[in-house]
């Protein structure tokens, strides 16, 4: 009887994450042909297809959807076992802040993977609006935090850069509207300031018709056709279009997602978490570049 090989599962996970064989191959530094052979071998072992092709990419079949959590758990357990065998287990306490308004799902996956790899670490996670994280670090209430800034300091490590843009629903045209309706963040932050500066520079009337504490709230208002909104380009969803130039709005800054810590010295849990976060965002950057390369072929 054939068995499931961990390398087959890792190849399967890379293609599932990327949404295409070509991009998945880039993530694991294999050729497209080698990756395709691995997937075919996996499907031969299972006797069923794990992907179905659509457009320029692939989607999970029902078998693929059932295999996904199993593959994630198996590879995570193997990584944890290897980690424990090769080095001393990390232990201690870590207080981490992750933003509720940017990349929550991605950061939650990082935290879940960290817990599996380092079960002896007492992890205290705060998921909230990230505008308060710098002050919380200063007060010693957090050890490590991820948050967004416009201009990083020397103590803030940039993880991800996301250009901001004015967007509108494809179903609405605000070019002929006398007073442009706008959706903004309702808390004091540089996003709101950047939006207001861009609007004021245009010198045309506008009105704030919707306020939200989160990116998802602003996007919901824009999708509903209520207003235009300023969001990160990575949050641009189907049905939304960039309209800054069309409406004569001044360019806006690029958002930087940063990582910062409380003290100069790092504890073992802090070092391990920083490595996990960096690795995840490096993979994200590679994935974005690979998708862009594929789109340009």
Per-residue pLDDT reduced to its tens digit, 176-211: 888 999 999 877 778 888 999 999 999 899 999 999
Domain locations in the chain as residue ranges: 6-86, 92-150+256-288, 161-252
CATH of domain 6-86: 1.10.10.10
Report the SS3 class of residue 155.
Answer: coil
Q: Which one of 63-77, 114-128, 261-275 scores highest in mean pLDDT?
A: 63-77
Is the pLDDT reported for residue 155 higher than 80? yes
* Tokens (6 digits) for 207: 């009105």
The encoded tokens of residue 257 equal 């997602």
Structure tokens that stand for 295 in this block: 């789109």
CB 6 within 8 A of CB 75: yes
More confident residue, 216 or 247: 247
pLDDT value of position 85: 66
% pLDDT > 70, the chain: 89
Length of the chain as a residue count: 297
Q: Are 233 and 108 in contact (CB under 8 A)?
A: no
- Tell me how far apart the alpha carbons of residues 115 and 122 are, in angstroms, rounded to a whole number: 9
Per-residue pLDDT at 103 = 56
Q: Indicate if the pLDDT at residue 296 is higher than 70.
A: no
Q: How far apart are CA 11 and CA 15, in angstroms?
A: 6
The residues with which 229 forms a beta bridge, in sequence order, are 167, 183
Q: How far apart are CA 14 and CA 23, in angstroms?
A: 8
Hey, what's the torsion of the CAs at 16, 17, 20, 24, to 10 degrees?
-100
Lowest mean pLDDT of 21-25, 42-46, 125-129, name the range. 125-129
Higher pLDDT, 1 or 212: 212
Q: What mean pLDDT is reported for the chain?
A: 84
What CATH class has 161-252? alpha beta
CB atoms within 10 A of CB 81: 11
Q: How confident is the model at residue 88 (pLDDT cuts 50, 70, 90)?
A: low
The domain 92-150+256-288 having CATH identifier 3.40.190.10: the answer here is: yes
Decide if 59 contacts 52 (C-beta within 8 A): yes
Q: What is the pLDDT of residue 86?
A: 61
Task: Give the CA distances from residue 206 to residues 70, 126, 178, 203, 270, in Å, rounded to whole numbers and listed in that order.
Answer: 51, 36, 8, 9, 45
Confidence band for 87, pLDDT divided at 50, 70 and 90? low
Taking only the tens place, the pLDDT of each residue in 212-222 is 888 888 999 99
10 Å Cβ neighbour count for 52? 11
pLDDT at residue 198 in the model: 93
Q: Report the interhelical angle of 62-86 vs 6-18 (nearest 10°).
A: 120
Could you list the beta-strand ranges (E) of 129-212.
144-149, 157-169, 180-185, 206-212
The residue with greater pLDDT, 66 or 129, is 66
pLDDT at site 221: 93
Give the pLDDT confidence of 265-279 residue by residue, as tens digits: 778 889 888 888 887
Mind listing the pLDDT tens digit for each residue in 44-62? Answer: 999 999 999 887 789 999 9
Same topology, domains 92-150+256-288 and 161-252? Answer is yes
């Amino acid at each position: 009887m054939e068995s499931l090989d961990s390398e087959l599962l890792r190849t399967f996970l890379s293609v599932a994450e990327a949404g295409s064989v070509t991009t998945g191959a880039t993530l694991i530094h294999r050729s497209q042909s080698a990756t395709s052979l691995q997937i075919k071998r996996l499907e031969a072992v299972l006797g069923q297809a794990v992907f179905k092709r659509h457009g320029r990419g692939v989607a999970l079949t029902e078998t693929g959807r059932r295999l996904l959590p199993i593959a994630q758990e198996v590879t995570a357990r193997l990584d944890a076992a290897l980690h424990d065998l090769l080095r001393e287990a990390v232990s201690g306490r870590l207080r981490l802040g992750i933003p509720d308004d940017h990349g929550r799902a991605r950061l939650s996956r990082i935290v879940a993977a960290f817990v599996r790899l380092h079960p002896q670490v007492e992890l205290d996670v705060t998921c909230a609006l990230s505008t308060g994280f710098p002050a919380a670090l200063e007060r010693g209430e957090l050890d490590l935090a991820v948050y967004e800034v416009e201009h990083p300091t020397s103590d803030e490590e940039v993880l991800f850069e996301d250009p901001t843009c004015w967007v509108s629903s494809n179903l609405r045209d605000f070019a002929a509207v006398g007073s442009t309706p706008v959706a903004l963040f309702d808390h004091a932050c540089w996003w709101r300031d950047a939006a207001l500066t861009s609007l004021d520079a245009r010198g045309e009337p506008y009105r704030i018709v919707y306020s939200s504490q989160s990116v998802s709230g602003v996007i919901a208002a824009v999708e509903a056709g209520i207003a235009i909104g300023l969001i990160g380009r990575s949050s641009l969803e189907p049905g939304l279009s960039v309209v800054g130039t069309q409406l004569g709005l001044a360019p806006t800054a690029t958002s930087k997602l940063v990582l910062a810590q409380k003290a100069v010295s790092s504890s073992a849990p802090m070092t391990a978490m920083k490595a996990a976060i960096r690795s995840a965002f490096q993979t994200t950057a590679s994935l974005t570049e690979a998708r862009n390369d594929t789109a340009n072929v």
